[in-house]
Structure 1
Amino acid sequence: MKTKIVVKVSMNDDKSRTKAMQISVGISGVESAALTGQERDRVEVVGDDVDAVELTRQLRKNVAYAELVSVGEAKNEAPATAAAAVVAPAPQPAVVWTSYDRFPQYPIYEMRSPSYEPSCTIM
C-alpha cells in the first residue's frame, strides 16, 4: 500500500530545500518526493512502508523545524498520465575505449655495486 506523507518544513533558501529533498529520498521505501506549497515549504513523499515519524525526525534534526501535516493513502493518478506521455528513449552513442597507453612504461632498476658500500658501518 502506497502512503502519501506531507511534512511542512521551515525552509528559507535553496540550500535547505536541497538538503530536505536529499534527506527525504534517503529514507527507506520512498519512491518519489516533491516540494509543494506556494512557498515550496512542504515536502510530499510517496512510497511503500515509509515511516512518517522517522522522516519528520530526520528533517527536524538536519534542516529545521518540521511539522507532520498529513499521512494517507496515495491516489493512483500516474497510470492515466503515463500512458499519454510515453516517449521513446534516445539511442545512446557507443563508447569505445582504446587499449593502448599513450606513453611507454619502462621498468626502473636500481643496481648497487659492492664497491659502493660505506666505510663506516655505524651510520
Structure 2
Amino acid sequence: MKQKVIIQLPMNDQKSRSHALKIAAGVIGVEAVAVIGAEKDQLQVIGEGIDSVTLTRLLRKKLARADLVSVGEAKKEEGAVKKAEASTPQPPVVEWNPPPSYGFPPYQIVEVRDSVNDPSCCTIM
C-alpha cells in the first residue's frame, strides 16, 4: 500500500529545499518527493513502506524543525497518468551489441634450463 506523508518544514531558500529533498529521497521506499503548500513549506513524500516517524526525526536532525502533518493512503491519479503517457511518444529502441571477445591469444610455453643448477649436467668433465 502506497503512503502519502506530509511534513511541514521551514524552507526559506532554495538551498534548504534541495537539502530536504535529498534527505527525503534517500530514505528506503520513497518513490516521489515534492514541495507543496502555499508558502512552499511542506514536503510531500509518496512511497511504499515509509517510516514517517523516522523520516521526520531525520529531517529534524539535519534541518532545524520538522512537524508531521499527515499520513495517509496515496490515491492514484489515472487521468493524469494516461494523458501523460498518450502525449509523449516513445523514443525508438536502439540495440548495441558489443563485438565478441575471444579472450587472450594462446601463449607459447618455452622451457629454459639453467646449466649451473642442473644436477644432470656434470661440470667436472
Unaligned runs of 5+ in 1: 95-123
Mapping 1:41-52, distance limit 5 Å? 41-52=41-52
Q: Which residue number corresponds to residue 112 of structure 1?
A: none
Shift of 1:93: 8.9
Shift of 1:49: 0.4
Q: Could you report, residue by residue, the CA deviation over 1:57-109 in whole angstroms, capped at 9, with x for unpaired residues?
A: 111111220000000111111x2211112211345899xxxxxxxxxxxxxxx
| Secondary structure, counterpart of 2:25 in structure 1 | helix
Identity %: 45
Report the Cα distance in structure 1 between the residues aligned to 2:47 and 2:9, rounded to whole angstroms. 19
Is the CA contact 1:11–1:64 (under 8 Å) kept in the aligned structure 2? no
Shift of 1:48: 0.4
Report the Cα distance in structure 2 between the residues aligned to 1:18 and 1:93, rounded to whole angstroms. 35
TM-score normalised by the chain length of structure 1: 0.70
Unaligned runs of 5+ in 2: 96-125
Q: Which letter does structure 2 place at the counterpart of 1:72? A: G
Q: Which residue number corresponds to residue 60 of structure 1?
A: 60
Is the CA contact 1:10–1:66 (under 8 Å) kept in the aligned structure 2? yes
Q: Which residue number corresponds to residue 88 of structure 1?
A: 89
Farther-moved stretch of structure 1 (16-25 vs 85-94)? 85-94
Q: Which residue number corresponds to residue 76 of structure 1?
A: 76
Q: Which letter does structure 2 place at the counterpart of 1:89? A: Q
